[in-house]
C-alpha cells in the first residue's frame, strides 16, 4: 500500500500539470477538433497504427485473474497519434482515487468516443493505465452543491508554491495566506477570459475549449467588488454567480499547436513549433502563459538524431515577425518529417544555455479558427496581470475586472449555476494497490520501465514522469516486502538498485518537465540499469 500510495501522490502532484501540459505538448498535434478514437472509418484519428496496436497488445497481456473494478469518468481529450485518452476518472476504491490521467484503451479500433463523453470501463489491479471494454454512458447527475475545497495560497513573487489546507502566514513575506478554491475549468485557448466549468467550444473562434486550473469565487452581476468563496445572495436578491481567476502555471496549453516547456527557472515558458514552409519558431511566455517579449533572448537550434545528439552546428535564431515580439525563428530547408531539433536558449547574455528537445511528427497547426480582428487576436496582453473573469465572459469584453456575462457569450457558454457541475478535485488521495506477489511486481516494474523507454523514444518528454515514478514505487514495494526472498548476498545489490532507480525516477520527473532530452538520456540509462539489476536479481533467485 505504501509505495503505491506514494506513487500516486506524485501523480497527484502533477495531475493538473499533466492534464494541461503533458498531453497537449506530447505529440505536437493537439486535438482541437472533436475526435473519435475509433476507427472505421476515422483514419485521421489514429494515424499511429503501431501505437494503437501496441496499446491493444499491452492490454491483452494483462495478468489474468487480477481483481476487476468498474471505472467511470469523462473524456477530456483524445490523442489520435498515441491512441490514448485523457479521462477525468472518479474514485475507484481499491484501485485509484479521482484523477485525470492518460489511459491506453484496449482494442481502440472498437471504441468510439468523443471529448466530453462519460464512459465506463473495466480496470484491473496491477494495471493503472489501460481501460478495458470502454462504453459510453449517460452523464452522471450533477453533484449538488459540490465545491472544491478551500486551500490557502501566497500570492507574492517567490511564494506562489505555498498551498496549504489551513490559514496562516506566508513564510517569506509574512502576509496572510489567501483562501482559494482551485478547480479545473475550460477556457478558450486564445481568448483567455472565456471560462466555463465544462468542456465545449469557444464561442469566439469555435475552437475546442482547453482545460486549465483556476480559482473559483462568487460575485454579483451588479457589484463586481463582491468576491466570496461561498455562494449566496447579492444585494439585489439575485444569486451570486461564479467567477474564475487564472493561476500561475494553471495553463500550459500550447498556443500555436507546438510543444510547450517550462524552463528550470519556472518563470520562462516556451513553445516550439515547426510550421510550413519549414520554419522552426519559438514562442516565449511567462508563468501565466502570457506572451513574453524575446528582447535580450538568444537561441540556437540544431537538428538532432534519435539520441538527441546534434547533427551539425547549432544555428542562431532570428527575431520573429509576430506582433508581440515574443518569437525567435529560423528557416530550416530540407528537414523532413518527423523533425527533431535541439534548441539552446539564453534568457540573458551571460546566462547559461538551457536545452530543449523537440520532436515534430507533423507540422504544427494553429488551433482553432482565425480570431476576429476586433477581438484582439494574438499576443496582445504581454505582461498584463491575470484578470478576474466570470463564467461566460467573452474575450472581447473581458479585458478588465469582473464583468457580467454578455448576451453574446451567454448563449454558448452555458453559465454555471452553483452546484451544477461535478467537482473536479485537484487534490488526489489515491487508493492504488500494487500487485502483491513477486512475479507480478517484477512484471509490473518491467511494464512501467518499458513505458518510460517508449515515451522517450516518442519524444513525449513531459509524459515520462508517470511511468518512471510508477516504476519507482514498484521497486520500493519489492524492496520493502520481498527482499527476504533473495539470498543475503544479493540484498546489497538490490538496495543499491532501488536507490539508484528512486533517484533516477525523480530526476527524470524533473528533467522531463524541462524538455531536455540530452539530460534525460543518461538518467534513463541509470534508470534502465537499475531496473535490469532488479530483474536480474529476482530472475536468478
Interface contacts to another protein, rule CB under 8 A: 2-3, 5-6, 9-10, 12-17, 151, 157-165, 171-172, 182, 213, 247-250, 252, 265-267, 287, 352, 426-429, 472, 475-476, 479-480, 491-493, 495-496, 498-500, 502-503, 506-507, 509-510, 519, 521-523, 525
Is the Cβ of residue 221 or residue 499 nearer to another protein in the bound state?
499
| Residue placing its CB nearer to another protein in the complex, 11 or 274 | 11
Q: How far is the CB of 464 from another protein (least distance, A)?
A: 14
In this structure, how many other beta carbons lie within 10 angstroms of the beta carbon of residue 254?
26
DSSP for residue 103? E
Burial classification of residue 50, based on how many CB atoms lie within 10 Å of its CB (0-12 exposed, 13-18 middle, 19 or more buried):
exposed
Shortest Å distance, C-beta 383 to another protein: 17
Q: Would you tell me how many other CB atoms lie within 10 Å of the CB of residue 276?
A: 8
CB 282 to another protein: min, Å: 21
Q: Which phi and psi angles does 98 have, rounded to 5°?
A: -65, 130
CB of 413 or CB of 462, closer to another protein: 462
Cβ-based nearer residue to another protein, 233 or 525:
525
**Minimum CB–partner distance for residue 513 and another protein (Å):** 9
Strand-strand pairing, 84-89 and 99-105 = antiparallel
Place of cell 514498484: 474
Q: Are strands 127-137 and 99-105 parallel, antiparallel or unpaired?
A: parallel
Angle at CA 368, nearest 5°, toward 363 and 370?
100
Taking Cα atoms as reference points, which of 387, 445, 1, 7 lies closest to residue 195? 387
Element (H, E) at 526: helix 517-539
Q: Considering the complex, state which of residue 224 and residue 266 has its C-beta at the smaller distance from another protein.
A: 266
Considering the complex, state which of residue 12 and residue 398 has its C-beta at the smaller distance from another protein: 12
Long-range contacts of 316-320 (CB under 8 A, 24+ apart): 317/280, 317/282, 319/294, 320/281, 320/294
CB 21 to another protein: min, Å: 9
Residue number with CB closer to another protein (2 or 57): 2
For 534, phi then psi, to 5°, come to: -65, -45
For another protein, the closer CB: 51 or 197 = 197
Q: Measured in Å, how far apart are the chain's first and last C-alpha atoms?
A: 24
Task: Write out the DSSP string of 313-327.
Answer: EEEE-EE---TTS-E
Q: Nearer Cβ to another protein, position 43 or 167? A: 167
User: Minimum Å distance from CB 127 to another protein?
Assistant: 22
Q: How far is the CB of 476 from another protein (least distance, A)?
A: 6
Amino acid at each position: 500500500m505504501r509505495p503505491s500510495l506514494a506513487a500516486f501522490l506524485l501523480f497527484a502532484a502533477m495531475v493538473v500539470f499533466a492534464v494541461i501540459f503533458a498531453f497537449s505538448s506530447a505529440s505536437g498535434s493537439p486535438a482541437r477538433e472533436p475526435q473519435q478514437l475509433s476507427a472505421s472509418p476515422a483514419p485521421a484519428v489514429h494515424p499511429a497504427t503501431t501505437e494503437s496496436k501496441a496499446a491493444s497488445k499491452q492490454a491483452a497481456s494483462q495478468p489474468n485473474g487480477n481483481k476487476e473494478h468498474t471505472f467511470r469518468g469523462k473524456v477530456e481529450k483524445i490523442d489520435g497519434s498515441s491512441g490514448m485518452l485523457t479521462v477525468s476518472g472518479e474514485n475507484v476504491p481499491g484501485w485509484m482515487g479521482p484523477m485525470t490521467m492518460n489511459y491506453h484503451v484496449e482494442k481502440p479500433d472498437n471504441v468510439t468516443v468523443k471529448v466530453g463523453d462519460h464512459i465506463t470501463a473495466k480496470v484491473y489491479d496491477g494495471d493503472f493505465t489501460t481501460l478495458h471494454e470502454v462504453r459510453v454512458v449517460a452523464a452522471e447527475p450533477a453533484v449538488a452543491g459540490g465545491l472544491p475545497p478551500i486551500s490557502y495560497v501566497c500570492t507574492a513573487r517567490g511564494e506562489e508554491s505555498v498551498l496549504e489546507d489551513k490559514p496562516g502566514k506566508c513564510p517569506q513575506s509574512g502576509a496572510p495566506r489567501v483562501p482559494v478554491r482551485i478547480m479545473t475549468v475550460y477556457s478558450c485557448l486564445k481568448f483567455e477570459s472565456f471560462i466555463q466549468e465544462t468542456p465545449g467550444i469557444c464561442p469566439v473562434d469555435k475552437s475546442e475549449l482547453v482545460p486549465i486550473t483556476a480559482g473559483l469565487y462568487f460575485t454579483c452581476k451588479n457589484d463586481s467588488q463582491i468576491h466570496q468563496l461561498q455562494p449566496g445572495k447579492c444585494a439585489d436578491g439575485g444569486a451570486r454567480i461564479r467567477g474564475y481567476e487564472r493561476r500561475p502555471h494553471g495553463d500550459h496549453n500550447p498556443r500555436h499547436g507546438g510543444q510547450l516547456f517550462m524552463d528550470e527557472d519556472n518563470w520562462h515558458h516556451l513553445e516550439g513549433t515547426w510550421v510550413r514552409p519549414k520554419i522552426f519558431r519559438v514562442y516565449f511566455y511567462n508563468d501565466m502563459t502570457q506572451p513574453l517579449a524575446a528582447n535580450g533572448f538568444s537561441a540556437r537550434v540544431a537538428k538532432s538524431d534519435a539520441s538527441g545528439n546534434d547533427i551539425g552546428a547549432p544555428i542562431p535564431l532570428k527575431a520573429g515577425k509576430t506582433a508581440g515580439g515574443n518569437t525567435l525563428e529560423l528557416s530550416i530547408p530540407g528537414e523532413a518529417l518527423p523533425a527533431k531539433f535541439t534548441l539552446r536558449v539564453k534568457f540573458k547574455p551571460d546566462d547559461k544555455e538551457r536545452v530543449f528537445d523537440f520532436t515534430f511528427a507533423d507540422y504544427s497547426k494553429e488551433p482553432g479558427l482565425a480570431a476576429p480582428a476586433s477581438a484582439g487576436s494574438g499576443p496582445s496582453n504581454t505582461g498584463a496581470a491575470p484578470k478576474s473573469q466570470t463564467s461566460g465572459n467573452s474575450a472581447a469584453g473581458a479585458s478588465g475586472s469582473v464583468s457580467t456575462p454578455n448576451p453574446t457569450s451567454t448563449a454558448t457558454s452555458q453559465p454555471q449555476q452553483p452546484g451544477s457541475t461535478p467537482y473536479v478535485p485537484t487534490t488526489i488521495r489515491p487508493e492504488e494497490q500494487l500487485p502483491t506477489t513477486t512475479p507480478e511486481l517484477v512484471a509490473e516494474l518491467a511494464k512501467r520501465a518499458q513505458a518510460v523507454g517508449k515515451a522517450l523514444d516518442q519524444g513525449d518528454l513531459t509524459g515520462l514522469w508517470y511511468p518512471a515514478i510508477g516504476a519507482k514505487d514498484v521497486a520500493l514495494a519489492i524492496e520493502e516486502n520481498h527482499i527476504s526472498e533473495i539470498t543475503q548476498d544479493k540484498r546489497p545489490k538490490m538496495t543499491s538498485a532501488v536507490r539508484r532507480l528512486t533517484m533516477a525516477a525523480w530526476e527524470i520527473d524533473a528533467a522531463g518537465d524541462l524538455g531536455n532530452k540530452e539530460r534525460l538520456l543518461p538518467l534513463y540509462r541509470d534508470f534502465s540499469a537499475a531496473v535490469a539489476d532488479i530483474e536480474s536479481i529476482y530472475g536468478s533467485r
